[in-house]
Structure 1
């Protein structure tokens, strides 16, 4: 493990919201709010995306001063402009990986074997794996060296089936996140729709929705400082 705590935030590269004609991407608050928590804790934050380059952004709200600060930060801007792919990143350089959500992740996170490998390697080296909202889509195909799913038997949170129905995208997303996590053996729990709900199980921290992003990041900080 490196001496200076470093956290990798994973972002989707997928822009099309199914066949709706609408765009998607990573949900800005789910990267910006954790970035603020991590940097204020003195950690270094790097970014990675599925396809590399500049990832698509969704949910931008520049009335939110944290999102505004994230986009205006020169280091963040430089990193966003040219994110590496997971295959170009060394897991040994990081103490934690944080999967930000946004509907785009449902299409590309589960298919990225290199991204899954980062989570496995960081976790098996004693690091922290975290995800928020749809971000746990990045965990559904993460298997450990013994062949078991990382989430098998673990308490987790993620965007619920009820929330997906509430936003009218049940028949648009390629799979339902809650149901798939449960199929992998996860013990999924859901709070009230669109209210903060954070679950920590060992070195795995997950949150249900955008309102949970700060809480998941704070849990990561607590785990890394323990």
Structure 2
């Protein structure tokens, strides 16, 4: 057989083998060569803005609207050794309502990390939830204010408990987060029971108190045990301070649920008000324009 007839098929075989080798090499190198710089797996750990999520993997759920729970870090009353705590039920009842409505929940405290939960602040109806990792993971790993991106949130919810009187109201970073949500995001500021202490120093961009002229409730000082040692540690009184800021404070006798809704500022008087308050927050948010298409509101 002539030599040129042998060379042609041989060249074809060599060419096919060479192309196949390149294809295999490209396939093995593809994931590394083609990975986008925005791929989460290539991002540096320790981002400046993090969230401490209470859900199982819901932090990265695209497009899910979020609500930020603001809690106190203090484990004692003021400068005393008297134990203080968050109100666990005020977390759980609101968490359940927000989750059922489709909102993700994150937690922030002045110091970050775990929060104190004392037995007297855990009602029988929520005791089993101390084993609920969806909630407890967030309470054991709260974010610091510096780790929070306020642009993510539609509402803030100030949780009560005996420690809510300390370290929250005067924290400028937490104030900035709350007012970003309210003014720039057009969102909601809410607080329940002693959590109302956390909002007394909030100011609008123009310097006016957020509470001025608004109907507000919270746990009033007349319902406290004024002879108790813990009460003497309070840095201020809720009713008195709300009124000093121009707020219109209202409360009812007894422990029945009671809430006040004034525009985008919503407050609850006591423990029993946590679930109704959360439901009112959800209702208020559903009435607001889409945050992605609407300008900031200042009402």
Residue 231 (structure 2) pairs with residue 174 (structure 1) = no
State the 1:20 CA deviation.
Answer: 5.7
Q: How many residues align?
A: 223
Distance 2:269 2:187 in 1: 21
- Answer yes or no: is the 8 Å Cα contact 2:77–2:166 preserved in 1: no
What SS does the aligned partner of 2:239 have?
helix
Residue 190 (structure 2) pairs with residue 130 (structure 1) = yes
Question: Compared with structure 1, are the counterparts of its residues 167 and 128 closer, same or farther at alpha carbon in structure 2 (3 Å cutoff)?
Answer: farther
- Answer yes or no: is the 8 Å Cα contact 2:71–2:107 preserved in 1: yes
Q: Which residue of 2 aligns with 1:200?
A: 261
Work out which structure has the larger RCO, using CA pairs closer than 8 Å and 6 or more positions apart in sequence: 1
More strand by share: 1
Return 5+ residue gaps in structure 1 as ranges.
Answer: none
Aligned 1:69-88 pairs, distance under 5 A = 69=129, 71-88=130-147
Q: Which residue of 1 aligns with 2:162?
A: 103
Give the TM-score of the pair, scaled to structure 2: 0.70
Distance 1:222 1:104 in 2: 29
- Answer yes or no: is the 8 Å Cα contact 2:109–2:143 preserved in 1: yes
Residue 249 (structure 2) pairs with residue 219 (structure 1) = no
Distance 1:201 1:24 in 2: 30
More helix by share: 2
State the 1:143 CA deviation.
Answer: 0.9
Q: Which residue of 2 aligns with 1:120?
A: 179
What SS does the aligned partner of 2:69 have?
strand
Q: Which residue of 2 aligns with 1:209?
A: 270
Distance 1:47 1:21 in 2: 25
Give runs of ≥4 in structure 1 deviating > 6 Å: none
- Answer yes or no: is the 8 Å Cα contact 2:121–2:161 preserved in 1: no
User: What whole-Å deviation, never above 9, does each CA across 1:116-163 have from its counterpart, x for those lacking one?
Assistant: 111111010210110000101111111111111111111100111211
Return 5+ residue gaps in structure 2 as ranges.
Answer: 1-61, 288-299
